[in-house]
């Protein structure tokens, strides 16, 4: 059979085809790495806030309970955010004239809510519920990290669907006793849970991984 292309031309084509294949694979690998990268999910990135509130000071050094400011966390889907009035219970006594607290004082005086910028925000099509977790032994620290050591509040987990599912497939090892849910620096000992509770979660994982648990 007569040759359609010269030998050099066919070799050039072969090289091109191999290069094309490599770039498809390469783009796939890069895309995957990008979607898994923490930076894609704003992990570790603080947001601008009206007041330089510090958890390390209030929840850490002063040891104020999370529920003092996030008061609906055990009862509702939303954790709840503190009103200016909550801040003023102390800041009408300490740091009274401080200029950094001016937004708190004026919001208190005008009866308008403080507008904090969210660092954790799921898209509207995903449903989350604090009470369901907090009352079943999933700790703040497991999802939000060492908040008591943060000068600026940041995400420590991606909050991606893959991250939710990693736990929902087998929650037991991540669980704590109820009284340790608000404790920081505690090691979960879910591995030692009684067999009936472990069995409950093996059974529950089917419900917990079904799409309409989180997409309703
Ligand atoms: C239970 C009491 C208490 C509550 C409630 C409280 N604070 Fe404070 N806060 C303090 C104390 C005490 C200090 C001063 C600590 C010091 O001087 O070392 C302080 C300091 C501050 C500072 C200055 C921090 C710095 O060193 O830069 C800011 C800003 C602040 N608080 C904001 C707030 C906001 C906003 C709220 C409400 C969401 C709030 N605080 C609620 C007790 C409280
Ligand atoms: C004195 C009040 C106060 C206490 C106590 C407190 N927080 Fe907060 N928290 C705030 C304020 C004000 C903000 C908004 C500003 C910011 O993000 O730093 C906030 C924001 C957060 C956020 C980010 C919310 C978002 O929009 O994404 C998380 C998570 C959080 N707090 C967890 C905790 C945990 C866990 C504890 C207990 C260890 C705790 N907080 C104790 C006042 C408080
Ligand atoms: C299972 C993981 C998980 C646990 C446990 C958890 N959170 Fe959250 N938290 C989230 C997610 C996800 C969001 C974003 C929710 C959204 O956008 O709908 C969030 C948002 C928040 C917010 C922002 C306000 C709001 O409700 O949207 C605060 C404040 C907060 N969490 C505090 C806490 C505190 C305090 C605890 C412990 C008592 C806690 N969280 C336990 C995952 C968790
Ligand atoms: C560290 C473990 C863990 C992580 C992370 C986690 N969950 Fe859960 N989730 C649980 C456990 C445990 C339950 C409660 C199961 C029970 O006892 O009914 C639960 C329950 C729920 C429920 C209520 C289910 C029902 O049947 O009412 C929803 C909704 C939910 N999770 C959504 C999410 C979403 C969305 C995320 C990610 C943003 C997430 N969860 C991350 C452990 C986790
Ligand atoms: C435990 C909770 C949970 C379950 C179960 C779950 N999802 Fe999700 N899903 C999420 C969260 C949170 C997000 C938003 C974060 C993200 O995009 O990863 C999401 C995002 C998505 C997206 C948008 C992805 C994107 O890249 O924007 C699709 C599509 C989706 N889910 C489909 C499904 C399907 C299909 C199932 C059942 C097989 C399912 N989900 C089960 C929590 C869940």
In the chain, which ranges are continuous DSSP H helix?
Answer: 7-36, 55, 66-69, 84-91, 102-110, 130-134, 140-144, 161-169, 195-208, 211-214
Is residue 161 within 8 Å of residue 126, measured between CB atoms?
yes
φ, ψ for residue 43, nearest 5 deg: -65, 135
Q: Which pTM does this prediction carry?
A: 0.91
Q: What is the mean pLDDT of residues 5-21?
A: 76
21 pLDDT tier (thresholds 50, 70, 90): confident
45 pLDDT tier (thresholds 50, 70, 90): very high
pLDDT score, position 188: 72
Across the chain, what does the average pLDDT equal? Answer: 90
Which ligand minimizes its atom distance to the CA of 64?
A: 2
Cα of 91 to ligand 1 centre, how many Å? Answer: 7
Distance CA 138, CA 187 (A): 12
Cα of 199 to ligand 5 centre, how many Å? Answer: 26
pLDDT score, position 62: 97
Q: What is the pLDDT of residues 110-154, one digit of tens each?
A: 999 899 999 999 999 999 999 999 999 999 999 999 999 999 999
Cα of 110 to ligand 2 centre, how many Å? Answer: 23
**Ranges of each domain in the chain:** 7-36, 55-63+72-79+118-214, 82-115
4 pLDDT tier (thresholds 50, 70, 90): low
Out of 72, 123, 130, 138, give the residue to mutate to test ligand 3, the one with the largest number of ligand atoms within 8 Å of its CB.
130
């Amino acid at each position: 059979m007569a040759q359609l292309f010269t030998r050099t031309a066919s070799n050039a084509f072969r090289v091109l085809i191999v290069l094309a294949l490599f770039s498809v694979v390469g783009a796939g690998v890069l895309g995957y790495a990008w979607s898994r990268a923490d930076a894609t999910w704003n992990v570790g990135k603080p947001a601008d806030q009206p007041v330089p509130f510090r958890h390390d000071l209030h929840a850490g050094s002063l040891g104020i309970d999370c529920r003092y400011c996030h008061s609906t966390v055990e009862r509702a889907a939303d954790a709840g955010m503190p009103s200016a009035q909550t801040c003023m219970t102390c800041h009408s006594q300490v740091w009274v004239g401080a200029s950094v607290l001016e937004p708190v004082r004026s919001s208190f005086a005008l009866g308008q809510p403080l507008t904090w910028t969210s660092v954790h925000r799921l898209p509207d099509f995903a449903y989350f519920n604090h009470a369901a977790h907090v009352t079943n032994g999933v700790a703040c620290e497991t999802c939000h990290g060492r908040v008591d050591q943060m000068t600026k509040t940041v995400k420590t987990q991606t909050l991606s669907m893959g991250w939710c599912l990693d736990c929902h497939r087998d929650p037991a090892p991540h669980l704590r006793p109820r009284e340790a849910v608000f404790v920081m620096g505690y090691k979960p000992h879910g591995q030692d849970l009684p067999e009936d509770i472990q069995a409950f979660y093996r059974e529950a994982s089917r419900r917990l991984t079904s799409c309409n648990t989180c997409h309703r």
